[in-house]
Structure 1
Amino acid sequence: MTQLTPDLTSNLTPDLTGDLQAPRISEIVLRSSNYDAMKLWYQAVLGVQPFYEYVPVDWAERAKQPQGRFDTDIRLCFMRVHNQFPYSQVIALFDVPGLQPEQKASGLHHMQLRHDSFATLMQRYGRLRDAGVAPYKSFNHGPATAFYYEDPDGNLVELSAANFETEAAFLGFFQTPAFKKNPAGIPIDGDDFRRRFQAGENLSDITRIPD
């Protein structure tokens, strides 16, 4: 007998929790069989150290066995990229031995990590480039500039910064003909962007999307 998948949306409405304060994204948890390389990559790319790390005393032996989806007594670490209690933003790594990369599967597309300024993004881009870490793709989306990197497991990590100094200008761009015509933006040369910014060129000129 074929077992039918239940309709998990049959009792949902768009305003079901609309009267509640919306939560903020707090954690992105990645499971990996490449734990040490992943940990080093995120420490170097984000410039943060784990604020909590746990290694079971018998992990060297137990790591040889398959782990279940909700097993919690595993090697793990949490790296906090922002904290404003009661909210925080955390990248977490769970060590799950024996995983194999999957293709054409539903799941994470990419994660975006926004910088406090365009200047900080350019500094991070330059340091990573000099260390041999280059973006997979680089885009001027219009409202923001973004560099897309692949971590050691192949997850897509977007490092971005707003192209405007005020929220009003940032939001205003979404109403412009340029954005409505081309919401994806255009590919860019990150080195050229960085060179022009360091030379003192106006940010609005560097990031202008051609009409």
Structure 2
Amino acid sequence: MTIDYDSASGPVIKPISLAHVFLRTNKFDAMVAWYKTFLNADARYESSRIAFLSFDEEHHRIAICAIPGTGDKVKTSAGLEHIAFGFSSLQDLALAYRQRKSLGLIPTWCVNHGITTSIYYNDPDGNQLETQVDSFDNNDEATAFMESEAFKNNPVGTEFDPEELVRRLQSGESIESIKKRDEDAPRARTKP
């Protein structure tokens, strides 16, 4: 197959994946240790200034670098709001929450967005990380919910107590029932 690079027009080719996130920091040691713990990640390469971490088959998912002149994060500046990590089940999300809690990693915000059940954390630099599980079995169902009046009326969701999530799972309540957003519950406040 011959590609005519000089006549490239039309929509841009879509990437096949989101490969990694690169974080600059002035708290290198704390950040590397935190991400290794938070993601149960391994360093594929690590020096005194840069680390490439992965929690799966990819050569690296998170790169962290101590770049000279880096100041503290300004929470109100424009830029990346959060990085989200998906889990395969609500049980895995709840277990990871409990495991992190036992290591002193406490969530900052827990919200049922309707399309996901999500638990948020802050890293040592103040970057926000979302851990989530999808509420629907496929993207068509999720998109339909996002097009619904319920989502239009409350696109953020409703907050929940992660300990209550664990109790509901332990009680044997159905996963479908737990994932369903309670539209009568108080709306979530904006993210901290």
Q: TM-score band, normalised by the shorter chain?
A: 0.7 to 0.9
The within-5 A match list for 1:27-176 is 27-55=20-48, 75-83=49-57, 90-103=61-74, 104-176=76-148
Segment of structure 1 superposing worse, 107-116 or 163-172: 163-172
In 2 relative to 1, CA 23–144 (structure 1 residues): closer, same or farther, beyond 3 Å? same
- Number of residue pairs aligned between Structure 1 and Structure 2: 174
State the Cα distance separating 1:161 from its structure 2 match. Answer: 1.1
Unaligned runs of 5+ in 2: 1-8, 184-192
Query: How far apart in 1 are the matches of 2:78 and 2:46?
Result: 29
Cα drift, residue 97 of structure 1: 4.5
SS of corresponding position for 2:132: strand
Q: What CA RMSD, in Å, does the superposition of the two structures yield over aligned residues?
A: 2.2
- The one-letter amino acid of 1:95's match is A
Change (3 A) 1:169 1:200: farther
Percent sequence identity is 29
Distance 2:127 2:14 in 1: 31
Write the deviation string for residues 99-153 of structure 1: whole angstroms up to 9, x where unpaired: 3214232222211111222221111001111222111111100010111111011
- Matches of 1:207 and 1:49 in 2, distance apart? 31
SS of 1:158 mapped into structure 2: strand
Which runs of 5 or more residues in structure 1 are unaligned? 1-15, 56-74
Structure (1 or 2) with the larger CA radius of gyration: 1
TM-score normalised by the chain length of structure 1: 0.73
Q: What whole-Å deviation, never above 9, does each CA across 1:66-87 have from its counterpart, x for those lacking one?
A: xxxxxxxxx2111123446xxx
Name the SS of the counterpart of 2:129 in structure 1. Answer: strand
| 1:89 Cα deviation from its structure 2 partner | 6.1
Q: Distance in 1 between matches of 2:139 and 2:80?
A: 28
Amino acid at match of 1:134: I
Give the letter for the 1:199 counterpart. S
Q: Judge conservation of contact 1:178–1:210 (CA < 8 Å) in 2.
A: no
2:178 aligns to what? 206
